[in-house]
Amino acid sequence: MQIFNSLPKKLESFKPLEDKRVVIYICGLTPYDSAHIGHARTYVAFDVIKRYLIKRGYTVQHIQNITDVDDKIIKRCKETGADPKKLPEQIHAEALGLFNDLHIIPADVYPKATEHIKEITALIRELIDAGSAYETGTGVYFDISSFKDYGALSGQDLEQIRAGARLEVDETKKDPGDFALWKKTKGEIIEFDSPWGKGRPGWHIECSAMARKYAKRTLDMHCGARDLIFPHHENEIAQAEAAGKKKFCNYWVHTGFLTVEGEKMSKSLGNFITLRQALAKSTPNALRLFYLQAHYRSPLDYDAEKLQGMEESVERIFNSLGLIKEVLGSKGSAPDKHFREKSQEIVDSFYRHMDDDFNTPEALADLFGLLRLANTHLSSQKVDKEQLEKVAKEIEEMLWIFGLEERKRSIDEKEAAVLALVAELGGEAKDAKTALEVLISMREKARKDKDYAKGDLIRSRLKEIGIILEDKPDGTRWKLA
């Protein structure tokens, strides 16, 4: 398996520290506002990576922090009067609910910055003792000149970093590029005790401290969006390695940017789309499929029209799988050498593409190729049910990796509408299934009586309700649209 590692900036063979166990740290939300489609793109990408590792036989330990104390949260609370402890909890709980709707497997632990002040201050103390940090009147800062590899992840040299840092000068710092480990405060709406007085942790230190606590060793993978490479991930490496004197993480994995109509999302541009808004217009399957048709490292532009196409693609996937399963329940089977060889070729291609830095666009093409092959095989005179059963299982494995789940719908959802139609046509029924039997009988009688208008009416009205009638040699069947 090859993974693009953002630190050396190249593809590398994936070799976790322990056989069949992978420790992943994913940068979580700063919950001051609703989760948006950019967050969803990132977490869906990492969910597929996690699912693929699991399917490949790995046990995955997934750590995902919550930055529940931050300048943005404090600013929002001051503007709205919200409680700085309750606001992050409420927003994060809402986000987790939406991520669950999007079929994202939860992390094993969601550590909060506010609940790890002890671990954070202990790490800061180690950095001071190691000569990598110093205290001033405004806080405690990391000395970037003390870490020789600073800038390696982002590809910047110290002069570039210093030039950018001079935009917001803090005269108490030794170097403009030095970053805060602890911010001193006095009477702020949320603050904590520390050896350096009241304050709150800097943004970067929490991840280094919590990764160390829960992983207890070097991380196999650290994941996040591309915009976290600098300064966040650069600073995490410096803090963790300056204190621990060992490698912080072996593989750095970053997702590409998501834009809306070619522009970065912004409330001022009016193109800010929350995940809740997106899921109100699109199904979770369609949204996931939309994200996965681009490679996780590539930029992706949000497109409502393409999303509609994804809805149709999802429907084709599950309709085709349903037809395969239907044929498996019938009698008769004959081996088909070509079908066996070709289907295995496509399955092997799927896993080769996923092994190649989780290349979901090509792997999706393999999924659709396998579905097309199976559909063609279904129309042949003799069906190889033994191989078809294997193909159905492979398709289900692929769908699980992609996080595409068939919605288990019930005819009971349509009961009121179907009973109303039966009553309108002069019939009687006690439940939805009985009503459908009555309507099918009515339609058959109408056709025998050459009352084609009534037969067509029943079919079209059921279609409006969301029920499709299919005329088969052995009779008429119904299915939910």
Average the pLDDT over 444-467 and give the result.
Answer: 92
Average the pLDDT over 45-61 and give the result.
Answer: 98
**Residue 167: per-residue pLDDT:** 59
Tell me the pLDDT tens digit for each residue of 78-105: 999 999 999 999 999 999 999 999 999 9
**Residue 481: per-residue pLDDT:** 67
Of 53-67, 330-344, 466-480, where does mean pLDDT reach its minimum?
A: 466-480
Tell me the pLDDT tens digit for each residue of 193-243: 999 999 999 999 999 999 999 999 999 999 999 999 999 999 999 999 999
- Max mean pLDDT among 112-116, 168-172, 412-416 falls in 112-116
Tell me the pLDDT tens digit for each residue of 146-163: 999 999 999 998 888 887
**Residue 475: per-residue pLDDT:** 85
Handedness of CA 316, 322, 326, 328 (dihedral sign): positive
More confident residue, 463 or 363: 363
Contacts of 257 by beta carbon, 8 Å cutoff, 6+ apart? 38, 225, 226, 227, 264, 299, 300
**Residue 158: per-residue pLDDT:** 86
How many degrees, rounded to 5, is the angle at CA 125 between CA 121 and CA 128? Answer: 135
**Residue 472: per-residue pLDDT:** 80
pLDDT at 310 over 80: yes
Q: Which band of pLDDT confidence, cut at 50, 70 and 90, is reported for residue 166? A: low
Q: Which band of pLDDT confidence, cut at 50, 70 and 90, is reported for residue 168? A: low
Provide the whole-model pTM: 0.86
Calculate what percentage of the chain has a pLDDT beyond 90: 83
pLDDT at 407 over 90: no
**Residue 324: per-residue pLDDT:** 93
Backbone angles phi, psi at 463, to 5 degrees: -65, -40
Backbone angles phi, psi at 445, to 5 degrees: -65, -40
**Residue 162: per-residue pLDDT:** 82
Tell me the pLDDT tens digit for each residue of 270-299: 889 999 999 999 999 999 999 999 999 999
Q: Which band of pLDDT confidence, cut at 50, 70 and 90, is reported for residue 140? A: very high
Angle of helix 86-101 relative to helix 71-80, nearest 10 degrees, comes to: 110
Tell me the pLDDT tens digit for each residue of 318-351: 999 999 998 888 777 899 999 999 999 999 999 9
**Residue 161: per-residue pLDDT:** 84
8 Å CB contact between 232 and 203: yes
- The residues pairing with 274 across neighbouring beta strands, listed in sequence order, are 36
**Residue 409: per-residue pLDDT:** 67
Domains and CATH numbers, the chain: 2-255 (3.40.50.620), 304-402 (1.20.120.640), 411-480 (no CATH)
The Cα-based distances of 306 to 33, 273, 318, 320, 417 in angstroms read 27, 16, 19, 21, 32
**Residue 261: per-residue pLDDT:** 87
User: Residue 459 is which amino acid?
Assistant: R
pLDDT at 464 over 70: yes
User: Residue 475 is which amino acid?
Assistant: G
